Amino acid sequence: MKVSFNPLTYEAIELLSLSTGIDYTQTEFSDENTWFCVTVRRGADIGLIVVFEFKSWCDAHVTTVLVDHRCLTRKLLTAMIRSVFTRAARITAHVDPANEVALRQVWRMGFKYEGYLRRGIEGTRDAVVFGLLPEDCPYLSGEPFRFQRVTHDMQPGVH
């Protein structure tokens, strides 16, 4: 695996846009005050893209495209989250309510359900809102961590 913390390449921007349904082709990912980007490749193929957008001094919004689950390691998650929490007090995720894989993943990572935004994604799609604070994050404690099993009663009600 090859991990890059550089601005996204055009190939990564195209994949991010296609996978999220949000047009990122005009976004300037080289602005380090606004963006923290991570790309992981397995061979020539992109396996993971993570972008954190610093919306304010205290809040970073995360967007993820996971193509190959082997690219998302505990070591990488810990490094990314620690880095973001040096610049923000919280991480926010807006997840499409139809994306069950992403909904399970944010729960497993320690994110807490915070609400539901009608037309919260690009003004066209609804979003389930999750937040992660340093004290909620299992990757920062230094203790061995096992993903919690997500059961139906733990998942938020989607309206």
47-92 pLDDT, tens digit per residue, is 999 999 999 999 999 999 999 999 999 899 999 999 999 999 999 9
151 pLDDT higher than 50:
no
Q: Is residue 46 part of a domain?
A: yes
CATH number (domain holding residue 35): 3.40.630.30
CB 78 within 8 A of CB 138: no
Q: Is residue 57 part of a domain?
A: yes
How confident is the model at residue 138, as a pLDDT?
A: 84
Q: Which residues contact 99 (CB under 8 A, 6 or more apart)?
A: none
pLDDT confidence band for 158 (50 / 70 / 90) = very low
Which residue, among 76, 93, 72, 75, has the nearest Cα to 136 in the 3D structure?
A: 93
Residue scoring higher pLDDT (20 or 144)? 20
How confident is the model at residue 109, as a pLDDT?
A: 85
Domain residue limits at 88: 2-154
User: Residues 88-139: pLDDT tens digits?
Assistant: 999 999 999 999 989 988 988 889 999 999 999 999 999 999 999 999 888 8
Percentage above 90 pLDDT, the chain: 80
SS3 108: helix
Q: Is residue 72 part of a domain?
A: yes
SS3 36: strand
Q: Is residue 129 part of a domain?
A: yes
Q: Phi and psi dihedrals of 44, rounded to 5?
A: -90, -10
The arithmetic mean of pLDDT across residues 30-55, rounded, is 97
| Counted domains in the chain | 1
CA–CA separation, 23 vs 18, rounded Å?
Answer: 8
How confident is the model at residue 82, as a pLDDT?
A: 94
Q: Is residue 52 part of a domain?
A: yes
The arithmetic mean of pLDDT across residues 26-48, rounded, is 97
Q: Is residue 78 part of a domain?
A: yes
How confident is the model at residue 139, as a pLDDT?
A: 81
User: Residues 10-25: pLDDT tens digits?
Assistant: 999 999 999 999 999 9
Beta-carbon neighbour count of residue 63 at 10 Å? 17
Q: Is residue 159 part of a domain?
A: no
Q: What is the pTM for the complete model shown?
A: 0.87
CA–CA separation, 49 vs 46, rounded Å?
Answer: 8
Q: Is residue 65 part of a domain?
A: yes
How confident is the model at residue 153, as a pLDDT?
A: 46
The arithmetic mean of pLDDT across residues 32-48, rounded, is 97
Say how many Å lie between the first and final Cα of the chain, rounded.
40
